[in-house]
Amino acid sequence: GAGVSQSPSNKVTEKGKDVELRCDPISGHTALYWYRQRLGQGLEFLIYFQGNSAPDKSGLPSDRFSAERTGESVSTLTIQRTQQEDSAVYLCASSLDSRTGNTIYFGEGSWLTVV
Amino acid sequence: GENVEQHPSTLSVQEGDSAVIKCTYSDSASNYFPWYKQELGKRPQLIIDIRSNVGEKKDQRIAVTLNKTAKHFSLHITETQPEDSAVYFCAASITGNQFYFGTGTSLTVIP
């Protein structure tokens, strides 16, 4: 596609439920990033994939958070047993091979509300 | 890991005046510094970037300067317009690694 695509765009879930957020990066982009942005706050790094290398998971806030990526394509961010503090926009971004220092492009985000 | 600090957190300027946003970083190995503009409810979008082998870069009303020795970089917007109102984020990255973002500056341009 023309840009980074994320789904769902909005999700309201009950506390304790699991949610899955999906990201389709720009075709040909081997690097993929997930960030969390709470209302009025900055961009909090969660996880980063570069090709087939082991992902950098250092930003995941707890073991309730996990992410997978299928080859160099779609990624899914999973939040288990959601809590109210998980309410935020989850932004995915992608870039050409990050090892050559390329710009990252963001998707529109998935707005998650935990009630 | 890298720590990026951004100031000010909010900035109001009169239309036509200049706006300056400053960021500092901690890791001297960082070599790529993009700036993103985020309008309310929208995705962050790249507006300008600079690499560590360059001291200044300009694109129309927007310019970015980099001081590697002091480990700080700044965004300059001249002749501000109401449509410049948004949240601006700086970021620092080492090639091949993740991006670290500043906490954002909410810019308001008063007509």
Are the C-beta atoms of A107 and A92 separated by less than 8 Å? yes
Interface of A with B in 1-30 (CB under 8 A): none
pLDDT the model gives residue A100: 63
Q: Decide if B98 and A91 are in contact by the 8 Å CB cutoff.
A: no
Contact B32 A101 (CB under 8 A): yes
Question: Prior bond to A55 cis, omega within 30?
Answer: no
What confidence score (pLDDT) does residue A21 get?
98
- The shortest C-alpha distance from B68 to chain A (Å) reads 17
pLDDT per residue over B47-86, tens digit each?
999 988 889 999 999 999 999 999 999 999 999 999 999 9
Q: Does residue B95 carry a pLDDT above 80?
A: no
pLDDT value at position A105? 92
List CB contacts (< 8 A) between B36 and chain A: 106
Q: Give me the pLDDT at residue A114, please.
A: 98
Portion of chain B with pLDDT greater than 70, in percent? 99
The answer to whether residues B21 and B11 touch, using CB atoms and an 8 Å cutoff, is: yes
Q: Could you report the per-residue pLDDT of A34-71, keeping only the tens digit for each? A: 999 998 888 999 999 988 888 999 999 999 999 999 87
How far does B17 lie from chain A, in Å, by closest CA? Answer: 25
Q: How far apart are CA A6 and CA A106, in angstroms?
A: 10
Taking phi first (over 0 means left), then psi (-120 to 50 degrees means alpha), and beta for anything else, what does residue B99 get? beta
- Under the banding of pLDDT at 50, 70 and 90, the label for residue A88 is very high
Residues of B with CB under 8 A from a CB of A: 1, 31-32, 34, 36, 42-46, 49, 51, 89, 93, 95-104
